[in-house]
């Protein structure tokens, strides 16, 4: 008889639930976030486990990679999409892990994409670059607002990015306004430099795939 496993993953621990094709709970236990411990818990059922579903909002890399390396077929649940099946959930389901296993068995588990491990780090670096760009935009908008508010001066984004820290004393007579502007200009310059450094690193390592 085939078995289906669900792992509800949290920041420091997880709950592993295993059911059979009749929804009988074969195993259930809270475990520490240790791939060795989780592997030992799964080992007695290895030959019968058809697949494992993992639900996590952010920290799934180590678990999915670790269990894939050990030969398990992994599925990454999409937490935001699971709610559409809440009406089917058994009233006595105490742990989400069994519910994950149940949806996996029925073939209705909403899934997220398990991004290939070898490309994952560069994707995360690109996301970090985007965060820096968003922060830079926030500082640019804030400084634009400040210049308009105090001086009725309108500068576009590129003009703001070309400002030097020393320009703040030329623009503002009030020392506190000048200080605020200096901090914004310095932050914009730092974030701009950081984003460009990341871009150069990423572009230097990218290769066009034949499929494109």
Residues 1-9 have a mean pLDDT of 95
pLDDT of residue 81: 75
Q: Is the dihedral of CA 100, 105, 107, 111 positive or negative?
A: positive
Chain mean position to CA 176 = 39
Q: What share of the chain is helix, strand, coil (3-state, %, to 5)?
A: 55, 15, 25
Asked if 9 contacts 33 with a C-beta cutoff of 8 angstroms, the reply is: yes
Interval 159-199: pLDDT, tens: 999 999 999 999 999 999 999 999 999 999 999 999 999 99
pLDDT class of 95 with cuts at 50, 70, 90: confident
Distance CA 153, CA 161 (A): 15
pLDDT of residue 89: 56
pLDDT of residue 91: 46
- Write phi, then psi, for 86 (nearest 5 degrees): -60, -30
Coil, strand or helix: which one is 111?
Answer: strand
N-to-C CA span, the chain: 43
Checking if the pLDDT of 93 tops 50, the result is no
Place of tokens 């066009």: 208
Coil, strand or helix: which one is 60?
Answer: coil
Is residue 200 within a helix (H) or strand (E), and if so which, with residue range?
helix 175-205
Q: Taking the C-alpha atoms of 124, 130, 133 and 139 in order, what is their torsion angle to the nearest 10 degrees?
A: -90
Interval 104-156: pLDDT, tens: 999 999 999 999 999 999 999 999 999 999 999 999 999 999 999 999 999 99
pTM of the model: 0.79
């Amino acid at each position: 008889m085939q078995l289906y496993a669900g792992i509800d993953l949290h920041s420091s621990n997880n709950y592993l639930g295993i059911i059979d094709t009749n929804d009988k709970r074969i195993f259930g236990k809270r475990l520490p976030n240790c791939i060795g411990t989780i592997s030992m818990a799964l080992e007695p059922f290895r030959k019968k486990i058809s697949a494992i579903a993992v639900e996590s909002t952010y920290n799934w890399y180590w678990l999915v990679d670790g269990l894939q390396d050990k030969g398990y077929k992994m599925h990454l649940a999409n937490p935001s999409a699971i709610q559409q099946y809440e009406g089917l959930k058994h009233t006595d389901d105490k742990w989400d892990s069994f519910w994950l296993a149940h949806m996996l068995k029925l073939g209705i588990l909403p899934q997220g994409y398990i991004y290939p491990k070898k490309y994952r780090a560069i994707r995360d670096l690109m996301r970090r670059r985007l965060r820096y760009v968003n922060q830079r935009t926030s500082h640019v908008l804030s400084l634009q607002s400040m210049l308009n508010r105090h001086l009725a001066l309108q500068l576009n984004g590129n003009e703001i990015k070309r400002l030097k820290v020393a320009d703040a004393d030329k623009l503002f007579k009030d020392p506190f306004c000048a200080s605020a502007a200096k901090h914004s200009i310095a932050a914009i310059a730092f974030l701009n430099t950081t984003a460009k450094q990341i871009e150069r690193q990423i572009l230097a390592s990218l290769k066009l795939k034949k499929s494109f």
